Amino acid sequence: MIDNPENLLNTELMTDTVALIGIPFDEYSSFLRGPAKAPSVIRQTLHNGASNLFAENGVNLETHPKFRDLGDLRLPGGEDAIAAIKSAIGRLTAQKARILVLGGDHAISYPVVHALTDTYDDLTLLHLDAHPDIYDSYNGSRFSHACPFARIMETGRVKRLVQVGVRGMNDEQRRQVNRFGVTCIEMKDYRSKNPIALEGPLYLSLDMDVLDPAYAPGVSHHEPGGMSTRKVLRLIQSIQCPIVGADIVEVNPDRDVNGMTAAVAAKFLKEIAGMMLKQG
């Protein structure tokens, strides 16, 4: 099921293939390393036999002809990795594949989204996270996992950024949110019964710390007061517009308890892929 990574970028894909791709990269984590281990742990969990590969909408990832697991990217270090990620994702989207990325820390979302804006000039981002990740720079780094949404918005190539679940807001990031015209729905104001109006094409960026640590202890930054697993699932399942790309980031297997967080990430993988595949 997983191709040889050496062949990954030369693989011919059917149009609208949902390509699963791991980006094992955590060099720009500010607090703890660990998320580079997540793609293999999430895949093991997906295939460990504890659950089937059906999404709740009836799509079966095991047999669907347009679901492909391309394995993990092999990356150089530092800023070269950022360029390599953009180039690899760009080659997949140029083939009209839709991509589902397993991070890695949140720093990977900048080059991934940047690559997508070469294909889509009216992209909307739905960003689920405890943190806005929009610092201009953090601990001296502009590629920190605390900065990707500043880098993305600076490109001027994204139509709209909608953040949901934030509870780590501060003055500096609020200035950035205002500067870039971001719609930021903080967790304290979020009501799941009020649907969020979104227009496609959509990129979904899912930081696992949007969940309450009770549901997902295996993340680097515990921010209490977050969403339940079911609340995130309802949000994913309520998306009406075409999803052209998504990432699931910030699982830190070193912090996990009994593989709980990896299991939730595998569940989100199934549901996001299921939504994308149902859209055809």
Name the residue nearer to Mn ion (CB basis): 18 or 166. 166
Name the residue nearer to Mn ion (CB basis): 166 or 202. 166
The rounded distance, in Å, linking the Cα atoms of 168 and 187 is 9
Phi–psi pair at 54, nearest 5 degrees: -85, 135
Name the residue nearer to Mn ion (CB basis): 8 or 85. 85
Considering only CA atoms, which of 211, 206, 207, 248 is closest in space to residue 226? 211
CB of 33 to Mn ion, least distance (A): 15
Name the residue nearer to Mn ion (CB basis): 93 or 205. 205
Name the residue nearer to Mn ion (CB basis): 97 or 208. 208
The rounded distance, in Å, linking the Cα atoms of 35 and 40 is 10
Neighbours of 190 (CB within 10 A): 16
CB of 180 to Mn ion, least distance (A): 16
Name the residue nearer to Mn ion (CB basis): 131 or 151. 131
The rounded distance, in Å, linking the Cα atoms of 35 and 23 is 10
CB of 138 to Mn ion, least distance (A): 11
Exposure pattern of 22-58 as b/e (b: 16+ CB <10 Å)? bbbbbbbbbeeebbbbbbbbbbebbeeeeeebebeee
Name the residue nearer to Mn ion (CB basis): 66 or 151. 151
CB of 146 to Mn ion, least distance (A): 8
Positions touching Mn ion (CB under 5 A) are 106, 129-131, 133, 207, 209
Neighbours of 242 (CB within 10 A): 16
Neighbours of 167 (CB within 10 A): 18
CB of 40 to Mn ion, least distance (A): 21
Match 């601990």 to its residue by tokens. Answer: 139
CB of 224 to Mn ion, least distance (A): 13
CB of 109 to Mn ion, least distance (A): 8
Name the residue nearer to Mn ion (CB basis): 43 or 131. 131
CB of 263 to Mn ion, least distance (A): 19
Neighbours of 76 (CB within 10 A): 10
Residue 204 corresponds to which tokens in the numbers above? 């979904």
Q: What angle do the packed helices 260-278 and 38-46 form, to 10 degrees?
A: 70
Sheet containing strand 98-103, strands side by side: 67-72, 18-23, 98-103, 243-249, 202-207, 123-128, 158-166, 183-186
